[in-house]
């Protein structure tokens, strides 16, 4: 791979992670010299992590980290940093490790052409009905929260209300019963996929694939010819779905959390 293509790939990582942050908007975001210090009370912890995307000289990294620590200490929170290649200073991971921060939650950032996702997802789709809404319905939110909710339901719902970009909320239905959900957010030619959740009793019926097909169809209609998503590296069922629908890994990333 050439130096130019490598640089472009690393810049893409930064851009996609910032799109994801806009699709999962914290209640408060403070720009500290390009580092996004995010506070999201009542929401899943990763919504409130530091995005250390601004340039920082090696000699100044410890000071920048200390400033972030002060931001979170003032709110009674444990600081966590999102560490993505190309999106943060190269030495930051080692600096945090030296300060006792633990590495956790290995993740995969994946991308795919929208048309490919639509084609592959539709090829093996089932016969469930899929409904799309521009805002989260009560049924959508309850299904998502039953699978993924980690915080205060009101705070998690408020987070969705803060999303400013065009969004689609998909429900796979059997009759009037929601079996699976997911959402997509369109942002400058890309559509991010979030909130994919299938109720335990409905797994293995192709519901998630139909949700993904509906979101890809919506993304293409909204000028997003590329899609991205973030998935835990130990989530084998999700990885199989995304492999089969054409998502390939752009990079791995992880978090560092203070003890």
Alpha helix segments (H runs only) across the chain: 3-23, 61-73, 92-98, 114-123, 138-148, 153-162, 207-221, 236-244
Q: Which residues pair with 96 in a beta bridge?
A: none
Q: In whole angstroms, what is the distance from residue 69 CA to residue 244 CA? A: 41
Q: In whole angstroms, what is the distance from residue 21 CA to residue 163 CA? A: 10
| Angle (deg, nearest 10), helices 153-162 and 138-148 | 120
Q: Which residue has the tokens 């752009």?
A: 250
**Cβ proximity of 17 and 88 under 8 Å:** no
Tokens found for residue 141 = 């939110």
Q: Does the pLDDT value for residue 6 go beyond 60?
A: no
* Dihedral in degrees, nearest 10, Cα atoms 217, 219, 223, 225: -90
Q: In whole angstroms, what is the distance from residue 110 CA to residue 164 CA? A: 23
pLDDT category of residue 5 using cuts at 50, 70 and 90: very low
Q: Indicate the SS3 state at residue 71.
A: helix
Q: In whole angstroms, what is the distance from residue 246 CA to residue 190 CA? A: 15
Average pLDDT over residues 74-89: 92
Tokens found for residue 174 = 């059997």
- Stronger pLDDT, 210 or 88, i.e. the higher one: 210
Q: In whole angstroms, what is the distance from residue 179 CA to residue 167 CA? A: 20
Please tell me the total number of residues recorded for the chain in this structure.
259
Which of 241, 184, 247, 244 minimizes the C-alpha distance to 215? 184
Q: Indicate the SS3 state at residue 131.
A: strand
Asked if CATH classification 3.40.630.30 holds for the domain at 110-249, the reply, yes or no, is yes
**What pLDDT, on the 0 to 100 scale, is given for residue 213?**
97
Q: Which residues pair with 170 in a beta bridge?
A: 132, 182
Average pLDDT over residues 218-238: 97
Which of 174, 192, 177, 194 minimizes the C-alpha distance to 143? 177
**What pLDDT, on the 0 to 100 scale, is given for residue 125?**
65
CATH 3.40.630.30 domain locations along the chain: 110-249
Which of 106, 93, 44 minimizes the C-alpha distance to 231? 106
Of the candidate ranges 144-158, 179-193, 219-233, 240-254, the one whose mean pLDDT is the lowest:
144-158
Q: In whole angstroms, what is the distance from residue 81 CA to residue 157 CA? A: 24
**What pLDDT, on the 0 to 100 scale, is given for residue 15?**
95
Q: In whole angstroms, what is the distance from residue 26 CA to residue 24 CA? A: 6
């Amino acid at each position: 791979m050439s130096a130019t293509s490598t640089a472009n790939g690393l810049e893409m990582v930064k851009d996609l992670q910032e799109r994801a942050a806009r699709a999962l908007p914290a209640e408060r975001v403070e720009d500290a010299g390009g580092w996004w210090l995010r506070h999201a009370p009542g929401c899943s912890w990763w919504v409130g992590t530091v995005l250390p995307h601004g340039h920082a000289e090696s000699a100044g990294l410890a000071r920048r980290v200390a400033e972030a620590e002060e931001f979170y200490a003032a709110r009674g929170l444990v600081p966590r940093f999102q560490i993505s290649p190309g999106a943060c200073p190269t030495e930051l991971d080692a600096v945090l490790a030296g300060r006792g921060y633990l590495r956790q939650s290995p993740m995969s950032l994946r991308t795919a052409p929208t048309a490919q996702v639509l084609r592959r997802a539709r090829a093996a789709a089932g016969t469930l009905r899929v409904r799309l809404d521009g805002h989260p319905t009560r049924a959508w939110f309850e299904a998502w929260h039953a699978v993924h909710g980690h915080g205060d339901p009101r705070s998690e719902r408020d987070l969705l209300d803060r999303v400013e970009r065009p969004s689609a909320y998909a429900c796979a239905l059997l009759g009037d019963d929601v079996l699976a959900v997911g959402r997509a957010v369109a942002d400058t030619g890309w559509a991010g996929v979030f909130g994919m959740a299938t109720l335990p009793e409905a797994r293995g019926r192709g519901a998630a694939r139909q949700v993904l097909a509906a979101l890809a169809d919506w993304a293409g209609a909204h000028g997003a010819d590329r899609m991205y998503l973030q998935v835990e590296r130990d989530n084998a069922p999700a990885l199989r779905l995304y492999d089969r629908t054409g998502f390939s890994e752009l990079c791995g990333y992880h978090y560092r959390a203070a003890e």
